[in-house]
Amino acid sequence: MPGFNGLARFVDFCEKKFYTCFRWLLRKKQAKGYGVHSPFAYDLITNVIYSPYSFYAFSDIYGIVSQHNINPEGSITTYNHLSFRLIHYLQAKDILEVNSGIGINTLFLVAPSKHISCICVEEDREKYFVAADLQRQRGVKIGFVSSLSECQGERFDAIFINFERGYIPDMETLTELSHSGTFWVLHPIKKGRGKQFWHKIVHDLRARITFDVKDTGIVFLRPDFHKENYLV
């Protein structure tokens, strides 16, 4: 029946628009901390994710990138700034970065402290050599490996995964590389493999608190946290 099919499509369209508007309003509300009852989540949203402050380290990194003939305006994003803020605030010391590329985000991960140790997993040897050259000026402990299997038996405070390329570990592999206080940062999560993986994580009981920060996902595993997903 043409009339019925047309009505069904219209109802489906209205439902999708309502859901989109609802998520937008919820994100706008929670981004300011409204309706967030967890003190930890509220503090992270207001003082880290949406912190209005910059750091001197950002200028230093822009300088290093420019010296290597890389345009910082085209290669450094708000995701890199968020990476720094998370490490700085949560004081992670042992970091794993999967699909680290030429090492732009790595510069931000290790900048908060000279006591940070970071292992970068990158399959592309050309990107590996560029990254190693970038890190040479930082004077921090960075290791480069070509496969995640070389990290077996290790436990990390923070795991960062780039979904745009390379190997993507499954949930079981990530939990084996984590302890109860580990947090994960996943980017990007709005398309392709990242979107599918993020959907699974949000519904996995092992992921206690998750933050959907537009195109970046942040996951906390602490078992004492109540299960919650925040759209910020």
Instruction: Answer whether residue 208 shows pLDDT above 60.
Output: yes
- Find, among 71, 63, 64, 109, the residue nearest to 90 by Cα: 109
- Find, among 70, 71, 92, 73, the residue nearest to 83 by Cα: 92
pLDDT digits (tens, 9 = 90+) for 54-80: 899 999 999 999 998 999 999 999 999
Please report which confidence band the pLDDT of residue 5 belongs to, taking 50, 70 and 90 as the band edges: low
What percent of the chain has pLDDT above 70?
Answer: 84
Please report which confidence band the pLDDT of residue 28 belongs to, taking 50, 70 and 90 as the band edges: very low
* Greater model confidence, 55 or 26: 55
Helices (H) and strands (E) in the chain, counts: 9, 8
> And the tokens for 30?
């929670």
Over residues 29-34, mean pLDDT: 51
- Find, among 114, 185, 180, 119, the residue nearest to 147 by Cα: 119
Instruction: Answer whether residue 154 shows pLDDT above 80.
Output: yes
Q: Which of 114-123, 128-137, 172-181 is the least confident region?
A: 128-137
Look up residue 126 and give its amino acid.
E
User: Do 13 and 28 meet the contact criterion of CB atoms below 8 Å apart?
Assistant: no
pTM equals 0.86
Instruction: Answer whether residue 9 shows pLDDT above 60.
Output: no
